[in-house]
Amino acid sequence: MDNTALRLAEELVRQCTEEVLMVSTAESCTGGLIAAAITSVSGSSSVFGEGFVTYANEAKTRALGVPEDILVKHGAVSGEVAALMAEGAKARSGADLAVSVTGIAGPGGGSADKPVGLVWFGLATPEGVRVERRVFPQGGRDFVRILTQRQALRMLLAAV
């Protein structure tokens, strides 16, 4: 496991334990890396009940309630979908906070509008949902996934 992600996850678990908050994840391009970082921390079961790996569009609809028409209109890699993924994870898990990620890790699949390295993040909190767009530098598929994992953990930490 990436040491930076592990340190972020340890701090997240510590702060969520202190604040008695539950977190959830909805992951596409990371395939469960965010949840893996959180659950690698001893005591994480007190703050993490479940996460969702929804790689396929059908899974985003079935597991998180993302409407098919939104996926068709905006594409899976969009702020609209990231927001709905985070809302769905928060609602279905009963968590206080939920983070979502959907992106293009590469090496293929990019376009002029949606380049390789593009990731949309969603963060659902009791105050509402916000999205963030990042384009990570080219460094290979694993590099994009690790940077995405770290940013998602940072977003959760900032919301505690």
DSSP codes, 103-131? E--SSS---SSS-TTEEEEEEEETTEEEE
Residue 27, pLDDT above cutoff 80:
yes
* Relative orientation angle of helices 79-93 and 57-64, to the nearest 10 degrees: 40
**pLDDT tens for residues 106-124?**
888 888 889 999 999 999 9
**pLDDT band, residue 137 (cuts 50/70/90):** confident
Can you tell me the distance from the alpha carbon of 130 to that of 99, in angstroms, rounded to the nearest whole number? 10
> Regarding the domain delimited by 3-159, which CATH topology (the fold level of the hierarchy) does it fall under?
Maf protein (3.90.950)
Residues 6 or more apart in contact with residue 92 via CB below 8 angstroms: 24, 52, 63, 64, 65
